[in-house]
Amino acid sequence: MLRAFIAVLSCALSLFGSDVFADTSSIKLVYPETQRVDQVDDYHGTKVADPYRWLEDLESPKTRAWIEAQNKVTFAWLEQIPQRDALKKRLTELWDYERVGIPVKSGDRYFYVRNDGLQNQSVLYVTDSPASEPRVLLDPNTILADGTAALAAWIPSEDGKLLAYGVQEAGSDWEQWKVRNIETGEDFPEELKGVKWAAVSWAKDGSGLYYSRYDGGVNAYSKLFFHKLGTPQSEDTLIYENRDIKEWTFMPHVTEDGQYLIIYIWKGSDGNGQIYYQDLTKPDSPVVELISGFDSKYNFIGNEGNRFWVL
């Protein structure tokens, strides 16, 4: 981000000189009033006021109205900068080039993303062979009229017949996951909500998905579930949770042979984690601690039977 900002600033200065940032000191800014509430939390005897707690509910009509009012003030100010249109024109020229992602092979199909240059979001394509004509499998630009829906991640099933994909709207970290029949282009009726950070993995036979989610829209007490295709989310099977530690986050990974479910566990942002596993060949198998303590960063590479390779 810093390099991008420096590049934009350099471009602006080269185009307009040192007066690129016009004097806007005479413009009067009138910010919308922000309501204060009597919210006080008691943390072990220490009382902490949080008068703007209501703004944490991003989906409430009051919060949306507040955001729109703030944006109205911001853009009214920005639109008075005379060099803004020229900057926009030049940046549009610089960004107008084709971008193609690395293809992924599943079954007999190949999947990749492509942006023609100025699309808000890259489009997911599929082809039945390297020599076949690709077709659009999923265009996130059509999900919302303003183009702010993005693919958080997409994961084909091993046989290449199904696609699990997560969508983020308007820059939110929250993801809604669905499954698409690649042959027909139709989605299964169910939707998986409460997901963050693309923590999803297919079952070996493509019967469903392992995924983690947060309940109640609160970023705490992550739970790991199995979702069987064609069933409502409310019927998902709970695989693992820790009710005593709210900071833990889970990421599932099914081994290549389909024998084990690897469970990455991390907390905070330092990257250190733990690895648990479950034997999928035995019904109701318990979750087993393999590596614990959060002392290092661990990456599961693969397995040979019950021997695990970890970096």
Residue range 118-149, pLDDT digits in tens: 999 999 999 999 899 999 999 999 998 888 89
**Residue 242 Cα distances to 18, 152, 222, angstroms:** 56, 26, 8
**Residue 14 Cα distances to 60, 84, 90, angstroms:** 44, 14, 11
Please indicate, yes or no, whether the overall pTM of this predicted structure exceeds 0.85.
no
Q: How confident is the model at residue 227 (pLDDT cuts 50, 70, 90)?
A: very high
pLDDT at 26: 66
Residue range 186-224, pLDDT digits in tens: 999 999 999 998 789 999 999 999 999 999 888 899 999
**Which residue is it, tokens 């005479």?**
26
Percent of the chain with pLDDT over 90: 80
For residue 188, give the DSSP letter: P
What are the residues whose beta carbons fall under 8 Å from the beta carbon of 75, sequence distance 6 or more? none
Alpha helices in 34-98 (DSSP H): 61-78, 84-95
What are the residues whose beta carbons fall under 8 Å from the beta carbon of 273, sequence distance 6 or more? 264, 265, 266, 294, 297, 298
Average pLDDT for residues 234-259, to the nearest whole number? 96
The mean predicted confidence, pLDDT, of the chain is 91
Tell which wins on pLDDT, 198 or 253: 253
CB 167 within 8 A of CB 151: yes
DSSP string, 8-37: HHHHHHHHHGGGGS---TTSPP-PPP----
CB 298 within 8 A of CB 277: no
Tell which wins on pLDDT, 10 or 218: 218
